[in-house]
Amino acid sequence: MTTAPLRSLDDARVTLAPLNFDHLYKHFEWNNDPELNRLDSELPYEPESLNAFKKRFEQMVFHPSSDTQDFEVLAEDGTLIGVAYIGNLSLHHRHALLGVTIGNRDYWGKGYGRAALRAVLARSFDELDLHRVSAETFEFNDAWRRLVEWAGFTKEGTERDYLFREGRFWNREQYALLAREYREWVTQNPINSI
């Protein structure tokens, strides 16, 4: 992975950058936010000590696993507003699983999620030359589902009763976008149409 910040190819509002260890406390805050956990994590919410998180974060920053790329999402003025990842990455099968979390609530509902997803898709298809990216959405996460549907993802399946939360089971929905569908979508959704 390059260490210089990656300029989003198609939305100047958002930049993807490698995880920065100086931002430990911001990441720790989001990591321990129960509402973010509910929306983007399969693990049941449990507060984590700073020490434990620091150890994990050190691994992610300095010894990342070869099948995951984690990013910071920076707003136009450089403010750290969220995180994104390309996981389950296989350069052999040319597929990956991706996700975006805008951790800073002041930036919700303003198109930053879209811009970040665009940037992650550009990295996946234009730079990593992937053939397929998938995304998973919990049944109750309407914002993330709307986002991937906006980006042209196709719903491929529903994992019934996948998640147990708040005393009941919820489905998880499987979405994917193939490279040719992405190229088509980009021509139909140029940047100034956002």
Partner 1 sequence: MTALPNAMTVLTNDTIREDRRIRLAPLALRHIRKHYAWNNDPVLNHFDSETPFEPESYLSFARRFEAIMMGQSGTLYFEVQLLDGTPIGVAHLSQLSSAHHHASMGVTIGERSLWCQGYGREAVDLMLAHAFGVLGIHRVSARSFAYNAAWKHLLETSGFVVEGRQRDYLFRDGRYWDRVAFSMLASEYQMRSAAPAELRAAA
* Interface with partner 1, residue 68, by CB under 8 A: no
- Which one of 134, 140, 185, 189 is in contact with partner 1 (CB under 8 A)? 134
- Which one of 1, 49, 90, 194 is in contact with partner 1 (CB under 8 A)? 90
Whichever of 28 and 153 has its CB closer to partner 1, that residue is 153
Q: Least Å distance between CB 71 and partner 1?
A: 24
* Interface with partner 1, residue 43, by CB under 8 A: yes
- Which one of 10, 18, 131, 150 is in contact with partner 1 (CB under 8 A)? 131
* Interface with partner 1, residue 74, by CB under 8 A: no
Whichever of 33 and 181 has its CB closer to partner 1, that residue is 181
Whichever of 57 and 175 has its CB closer to partner 1, that residue is 175
Residues 18, 20, 24, CA angle at the centre, nearest 5°?
A: 140
Whichever of 44 and 109 has its CB closer to partner 1, that residue is 44
Using the CB atoms, write b or e for 117-134: b if 16+ within 10 Å: bbbbbbbbbeebebbbbb
Strands 6-7 and 80-90: unpaired
- The answer to whether 89 and 68 have CB atoms below 8 angstroms apart is yes
Residues 6 or more apart whose CB falls under 8 angstroms from that of 102 comprise: 73, 81, 82, 108, 112, 113, 116
Which residues contact partner 1 by CB under 8 A?
A: 42-44, 90, 92-95, 131-132, 134, 154, 156-164, 169, 174, 176, 178
